Chains A and B, each alone.
Chain A
């Protein structure tokens, strides 16, 4: 079985501050990892994904994430956030090329002026 744990349900930050949203997964086999963003009253949109290769993955809107196999983590980072980054962020995992997306419970990022 595999699961995804997002360690923080809510993260408040001030505008232009750096942010890290944490994600840990459990799996005994190789995984594909994803971060999705959901703006208020909208569907989810892919931010970035890790399938293989470089462990540092860059996504849209200035976000990046680093795959750490030894720590089974895939934390999302942004060096300077904007008000418009206020949204809910979901980490998700697929085991290899099989199976379906398993989502974490989400982290609500609130950016304050």
Chain B
């Protein structure tokens, strides 16, 4: 357990509204990741960060933005939520040893 929390754990929102998911870690890990998990797709990388204010796009970044102003916090924002963004979102951290530690997930439903 790498001390990763995600908030909120569950959220229902309407199409077109902005949504921000928060990932908080207490281990001072350098790398942080946002994934989405959908049935039949496994986990797909949305965005990642390799340090404060250093972020990059993953495989499925369209419609998402991220920010990392502090080592411990990594925010994922859906600027205008769509039904295709209904998913379970996982945050993960890594020290640089290739082992990733995952948070408990956020279940987002866009109606």
Closest approach, in angstroms, between the C-beta of B74 and any C-beta of chain A?
Answer: 15
Q: Which residues from B are CB-within-8-Å of A104?
A: 42
Name the CB-closest residue of A to B33.
Answer: A100
Q: Is the CB of A46 within 8 A of B42?
A: no
Q: Which residues from A are CB-within-8-Å of B43?
A: 44, 90, 101, 103
Residues in A23-52 with C-beta less than 8 Å from chain B:
32, 34, 36, 41-46, 49, 51
Q: Is the CB of A46 within 8 A of B44?
A: no
Q: Is the CB of A43 within 8 A of B104?
A: yes
* B side interface size, CB within 8 A: 20
Q: Is the CB of A42 within 8 A of B104?
A: yes
Picked from B44, B48, B101, B103, the residue with its CB within 8 Å of the CB of A103 is B44
How far is A34 from B92 in the complex, measured between Cα atoms in Å? 15
Q: Which residues from B are CB-within-8-Å of A41?
A: 105
Residues in B79-106 with C-beta less than 8 Å from chain A:
90, 92, 98-105
How far is A46 from B102 in the complex, measured between Cα atoms in Å? 9
Could you list 7 A-B pairs, sorted by A, with CB under 8 Å? A44-B90, A46-B99, A46-B101, A100-B48, A101-B45, A103-B44, A104-B42
User: A residues engaging B (CB < 8 A)?
Assistant: 9, 32, 34, 36, 41-46, 49, 51, 90, 94, 97, 100-101, 103-106
Other A-B contacts than A44-B90, A90-B42, A100-B58, 18 sampled, CB-CB below 8 A, are A9-B40, A34-B98, A36-B102, A43-B90, A43-B92, A43-B102, A44-B100, A44-B102, A46-B99, A46-B100, A49-B98, A100-B33, A100-B48, A101-B33, A101-B43, A101-B45, A103-B43, A105-B40
